[in-house]
Structure 1
Amino acid sequence: MAEIVNLRQARKQKARDEKLRAAEQNRALHGRSKAEKERDRIAADKSEKFVAGHRRE
């Protein structure tokens, strides 16, 4: 015999699974490693210091 399933709960679980799958794809596309974030932060700090050092007063 087939298992009895609550359709409301099944729909909600399906929606949760789809959201998790989409989130996983977004993490793969848009996520950055800790090293990449650190490299970008260092580059931004360096450029800010360069600009600050060449300002007129």
Structure 2
Amino acid sequence: MDKNPSGNDRPCKCGGIDAAERETLDRYGITRVPAATYLLDGYRYTSLTDAVAQARRSRM
């Protein structure tokens, strides 16, 4: 299991995966790809372009 970034031995799900999830990925040949998420005014955007466009619209 992943360790907590603070250095203690408690497991965390801060971007890591546990053994069961790793086994499932390996079994099916799935690759996990991290993705950026942009937060603006309580909404989440997966595209920086969309987040910037909304910021420009809402601040005019």
Higher relative contact order (CA 8 A, sep 6+): 2
TM-score, length-scaled by structure 2:
0.29
Structure of larger gyration radius: 1
Higher helix fraction (1 or 2):
1
Higher strand fraction (1 or 2):
2
